[in-house]
Structure 1
Amino acid sequence: MKRGFKIVSKYENEGLTLPVRATQNAAGYDFCAAKDFVLPSIWKRDFLKILRTLRKQKQYTQEDLTAANKVLKPYLVPTGIKAYMQPEEFLMLANRSSNPLKHGLILPNGVGIVDADYYDNENNEGEIFFQLVNFGLTDKVIKKGERLGQGIFLPYLLADDEKTPLSTRTGGFGSSGR
């Protein structure tokens, strides 16, 4: 088995479907929500108040920036899916082209990267989540089975002078950062 998808154990009996490509020439595998999820609108979380405050000030305090970041914080929408792949491959998570236009949803970091060693990690079994922010005017109710985004398997290259990586993964989501 070179690459593919499995359902994480906590969703085994929940009737989830594995990601599939919608057409013969599609690069991405469509990921769906593992359960109903409400994604709050940024407009309901004091976004305008914070914008007005920041606009009036010439300098921002750390408190101001913390408040703004809290309002714009992405939510992690569970898929119930994990992906296995070869070393020197990764799964790139990307937004669906219709998400911003039809639903006001974006991936705040543009893309997500799922490393090969994320699979079956001890913290969350390698479950893939989509980070989403709702810029729509109202809360977005994402229904179980609704498409969230897509995943594309890709190889990566190593630098000629790379030293041995410093560590191995010991955790789940966001655990390879410092």
Structure 2
Amino acid sequence: MGISMVTAIVVIPPVNDGELLGKVIGYMERSLTKAGLNNVVFCGPLKGARIPGLVALATYVDYNYVSSRGLLKACIEVNVKPPIMLIRGSQPYLSPETYAEALWALSSFNRPIVVLSRGGRGLSTPILVSSSKLVSRLVWLNSRFKLASAMVRFLIEHKRDVLLVEVKDECLGVRLSPSACLSRIND
């Protein structure tokens, strides 16, 4: 199954620390670029963040929100076409190799949804979705539920279409915080 250029959509959570947010975005830009993702949409409250602008085809959508319900519609309104990799920016520490493994799986296996797994446990972010119909369904679920819940419901609904890819990245699922995997962005 050949795939066209994948667009990464990074949903940025509300973060009060503009310096930390700038570092996180810079790290994600470097990781996504090294993995071969050159079309990235950063969507969320970006005001006050220093944006490095390392990605060739980056779009920055400054979108303030109180609830993540309906957020995907605003992020995808920048004419994003599948395949997409949806990344919750609250879990920003993945290595370029981890993103590359997910891209390899999408292009190598005949499954329209790829989900990363660690220790046999699938996680809801990042996910790769290869069809417009599936992306539309995810956007619709997000109009009814907060993003995390919409993603989990989407994966449950489409469990037969999901390919779990086991990765060794110890930062998979680690939430944005001043501890845990924070040292990765300071390297």
Q: Which has the higher contact order (CA 8 A, sep 6+)?
A: 1
Return the TM-score normalized by structure 1.
0.24
Return the TM-score normalized by structure 2.
0.23
As a proportion of its length, which structure holds more helix? Answer: 2
